[in-house]
Chain A
Amino acid sequence: MVKKYIQNFIKYTPLLFLLTSRDFKLKYRRSFLGVLWSMLNPLLIMVVVTSVFSVLLKVKASDIGMPFAVFYITGSLIFNFFSEATSSSMTAVVSNASLIQKVYLPKYIFIFEKCAFSLINMLLSAIAVLFVLLYYVIKGEVTVHITIFLIFIPMFLTFLFSIGVGLILSTLTVFFRDIVHIWGVILTIWLYLTPIVYPIEILKSSKIDWVVRLNPLYYFVDDLRSLMVLGEFPCLDHLLIEGVVCFFVLVFGVFLFKKAQDKFILHI
Chain B
Amino acid sequence: MEYKNDDVAVFVDNVSIHFNMSSERITSLKEYFIKLVKRQLFYKKFIALENVNIKIKKGQVYGIVGLNGSGKSTLLKVICGILKPTYGEVFVKGKISPLIELGAGFNMELTARENIFLNGAVLGYSKKFMNEKFDEIVEFSEMEKFLDVPMKNYSSGMVARVAFSVATVVKPDILIVDEILSVGDFRFQEKCNERIKEMMKGKTTVILVSHQMEQIEKMCDNVLWLDHGHVKMVGKTREVCEVYKNS
On chain B, the residues within 8 Å of A98 by CB distance are 104-105
The answer to whether the Cβ of A104 comes within 8 Å of any Cβ in the partner chain is: yes
Q: What CA separation (Å) do A234 and B118 show in the bound complex?
A: 42
**B122 is an interface residue with CB less than 8 A from chain A:** yes
* Contact yes or no, A103 B82, CB < 8 A: yes
Give the distance in Å from the alpha carbon of A105 to the alpha carbon of B27 in the complex. 24
When chains A and B are docked, how far (Å) is the Cα of A12 from the Cα of B81?
16
Interface assignment of A101: CB less than 8 Å from any CB of chain B? yes
> Chain A nearest CB: distance from B23 CB in Å?
15
B28 and A176 contact, CB distance less than 8 A:
yes
* Complex interface: stretch among A19-27, A62-70, A132-140: A19-27
Bound together, the chains give a CA A100 to CA B32 distance in angstroms of 25
The 0/1 profile, CB within 8 Å of A marked 1, for residues 86-117 of chain B is: 00000000000010110011010110001001
User: Across the interface, do A104 and B110 meet the contact criterion of CB distance under 8 Å?
Assistant: no
Contact A99 B109 (CB under 8 A): no
Report B-chain residues with C-beta under 8 Å of the C-beta of A14.
120-121, 125-127, 130
A19 touches B118 (CB 8 A): yes
State in angstroms the CA–CA spacing of A142 and B110 once bound together: 45
| CA A266 to CA B122, docked complex, whole Å | 21
A25 to chain B, nearest CB (A): 7
Report whether A25 and B82 are in contact in the complex, using a CB–CB cutoff of 8 Å: no
Please tell me if the beta carbons of B32 and A22 are within 8 angstroms of each other in the complex: no
CB pair B110–A99 under 8 Å, yes or no, is: no
CB distance from A267 to the nearest CB of B (A): 8
Residue contact B81 to A104, C-beta cutoff 8 Å? yes
Min CB–CB distance B98 → chain A (angstroms): 6
Residue pair B110, A176 in contact (C-beta under 8 Å): no
Contact (A104, B82) CB under 8 Å given A98-B104, A178-B30: yes
Give the distance to chain B from A100, nearest Cβ to Cβ, in Å: 8
Partner of A178, one of B19, B20, B29, B83: B29
B8, CB-defined interface residue at 8 Å:
no
CA distance A93 to B20 in the complex (A): 21
Within B33-81, the residues touching A (CB, 8 Å) are 80-81
A-chain residues with CB within 8 Å of residue B124 when the two chains form the complex: 11-12, 15
Interface residues of A in 169-214 (CB under 8 A from B): 175-179
Is A176 in contact with B29, judged by CB distance below 8 angstroms?
A: yes
Q: How far is the CA of A17 from the CA of B117 in the complex (A)?
A: 11
Please measure, in the bound complex, the distance between the C-alpha atom of A100 and the C-alpha atom of B82, giving whole angstroms: 7
Contact, CB under 8 Å: B28 / A177:
yes
What CA separation (Å) do A128 and B170 show in the bound complex?
46
The answer, among A17, A29, A176, A265, for a CB contact under 8 Å with B82, is A265
**Is A102 positioned at the interface, with any CB of B under 8 Å from its CB?**
yes
> For the complex, what is the distance from the CA of A111 to the CA of B121, rounded to whole Å?
16
Partner of B121, one of A12, A176, A179: A12
Question: Bound complex: CA of A18 vs CA of B124, how far in Å?
Answer: 12
Q: Which residues of B contact A25 (CB under 8 A)?
A: 110, 114
Given contacts A11-B124, A15-B122, A105-B122, contact A26 B109 (CB under 8 A): yes
Closest Cβ neighbor of B129 among chain A residues? A14
- Name the B residues within 8 Å of A237 (CB-CB): none
Given contacts A99-B105, A103-B98, 5 further A-B contacts (CB under 8 A): A12-B121, A29-B109, A103-B100, A103-B104, A176-B29
A to B CB contacts below 8 Å, 21 in the list:
A11-B124, A12-B124, A14-B120, A14-B130, A15-B124, A18-B117, A19-B121, A26-B109, A99-B104, A102-B98, A102-B101, A103-B98, A103-B104, A103-B105, A104-B81, A105-B122, A177-B28, A178-B28, A178-B29, A262-B84, A267-B27
- Residues of B near any A CB (own CB < 8 A): 19-20, 27-30, 32, 80-84, 98, 100-101, 104-105, 107, 109-110, 114, 117-118, 120-127, 130
Q: Which residues of A contact B (CB under 8 A)?
A: 11-12, 14-15, 17-19, 22, 25-26, 29, 98-105, 175-179, 262, 265-267
| A-B CB proximity, top 8 nearest | A15-B121, A102-B104, A104-B81, A102-B101, A262-B84, A14-B121, A176-B29, A178-B29
